[in-house]
């Protein structure tokens, strides 16, 4: 983690708001996943942070990429060094390095990516009909609906076929002449409940058996993402979770089954720090309110979209008092926190927020005309 003195120097040089992404931390997080889940092929979830230089850093570690749209698909290809594609057919690279993990894809997207044997998920018969017509060479992965109990961001209400219906849907795929390569699930983002994973693995193993009985062979299981980030002391230890997950995978699935995962938050959340400036202050409701030059319509969009509380740190020392921090826009929704312990600050002083690498700049806007934070990549 960058020390306070360096943060201040970078802010003085670059201006604020400034989002500093440390690629040494990205590498360390990626290698931690690889160490504790050695059997799992990792596909970075682009939605967590689409910064192009992150793609370049992870590509050097032979990471794959989980994309949800044609734009993300193209961004990956644009940021892979052309020399790494020499001697390879593009469809071979795409098959090994890109999975379209959005179960619903526009027809125009399917038409653009046909011909590359792209791996993609589905969870309903209507999507199969679209794929059959517009991208029949795709390798399909049937996404299951699994429990998301205790996860910060719940996904099962929107995605996944009921496990009891999965075999029939897979039968339908083969009847259409399509190829189903395997299953996928997602236990929800920032999952602190290991039972979500264990129950999903058990359900997946049973579906593999049923599909095999029906004469179809599948060769991969995608366990999604959701690995928890230590935002605070309440988050369970990752090593313990990974140990249980690794043992259950080995118990239920032979080595002939490829295991994939789509981590996003775990790789990038702790790798970025945001520096903001106090541009105004007032005393309201018996506490200081500090107006900063970024907010929930900008880098701190995760307050709304990601349900993560961000906490502010002051460079200034002194007695701390209950304070509020709000963004610069004309919307009262633009309130980042109503309960921060901060020393009394002057206009022009700086604050910083750690663990701002996931679901921040990726969902930032320029609402009210306020520009997005400048991104500074270090150790890239």
What positions carry a catalytic annotation?
330
> Radius of gyration of the chain from Cα atoms?
22
CA distances from 232 to 148, 191, 267, 355, 369 (A): 20, 14, 16, 10, 33
The interaxial angle of helices 52-59 and 70-78, nearest 10 deg, is 60
Q: Which long-range contacts (CB under 8 A, 24 or more apart) does 233-239 make?
A: 234/192, 235/192, 236/192, 236/194, 238/32, 238/36, 238/266, 239/36
| Residue 103 vs residues 44, 149, 264: alpha-carbon distances, Å | 17, 21, 18
Name the DSSP letter for residue 71: H
Angle at the Cα of 177 from the Cα atoms of 206 and 221, rounded to 5 degrees: 30
Quote the tokens at residue 249.
């995978």
For the four alpha carbons of 172, 178, 182 and 186, in that order, the dihedral sign comes to negative
Rounded to whole angstroms, the Cα distance separating 110 from 379 reads 37
CA distance 380 to 378: 5
- The secondary structure element, H or E, covering residue 374 is strand 374-378
Q: Contact 357/1 with Cβ under 8 angstroms?
A: no
């Amino acid at each position: 983690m960058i020390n306070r003195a360096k943060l201040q120097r970078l802010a003085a040089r670059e201006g604020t708001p400034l989002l500093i992404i440390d690629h040494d931390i990205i590498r360390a997080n990626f290698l931690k996943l690889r160490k504790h889940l050695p059997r799992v092929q990792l596909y970075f979830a682009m939605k967590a942070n689409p910064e192009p230089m992150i793609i370049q850093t992870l590509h050097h570690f032979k990471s794959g990429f989980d994309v949800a749209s044609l734009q993300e698909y193209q961004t990956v290809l644009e940021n892979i060094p052309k020399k790494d594609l020499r001697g390879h057919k593009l469809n071979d690279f795409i098959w090994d390095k890109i999975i379209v993990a959005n179960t619903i894809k526009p027809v125009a997207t399917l038409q653009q990516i046909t011909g590359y044997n792209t791996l993609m998920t589905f969870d309903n018969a209507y999507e199969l009909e679209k794929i059959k017509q517009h991208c029949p060479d795709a390798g399909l992965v049937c996404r299951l609906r699994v429990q998301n109990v205790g996860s910060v961001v719940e996904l099962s209400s929107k995605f996944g076929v009921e496990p009891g219906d999965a075999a029939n849907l897979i039968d339908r795929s083969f009847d259409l002449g399509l190829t189903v390569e395997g299953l996928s699930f997602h236990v929800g983002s920032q999952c602190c409940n290991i039972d979500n994973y264990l129950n999903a693995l058990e359900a997946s193993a049973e579906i593999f058996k049923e599909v095999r009985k029906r004469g179809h062979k599948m060769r991969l299981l995608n366990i999604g993402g959701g690995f928890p980030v230590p935002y605070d002391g309440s988050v369970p230890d990752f090593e313990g979770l990974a140990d249980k997950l690794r043992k259950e995978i080995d118990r239920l699935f032979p080595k002939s089954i490829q295991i994939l995962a789509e981590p996003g938050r775990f790789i990038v959340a702790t790798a970025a720090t945001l520096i903001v400036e106090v541009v105004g202050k007032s005393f309201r409701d018996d506490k200081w309110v500090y107006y900063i030059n970024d907010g929930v319509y900008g880098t701190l969009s995760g307050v709304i979209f990601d349900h993560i509380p961000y906490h502010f740190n002051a460079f200034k020392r002194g007695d701390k008092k209950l304070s509020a921090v709000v963004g610069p826009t004309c919307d009262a929704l633009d309130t980042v926190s109503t309960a921060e312990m901060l020393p009394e600050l002057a206009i022009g002083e700086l604050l910083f927020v750690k663990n701002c690498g996931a679901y921040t700049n990726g969902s930032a806007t320029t609402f009210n005309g306020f520009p997005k934070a400048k991104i500074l990549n270090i150790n890239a």
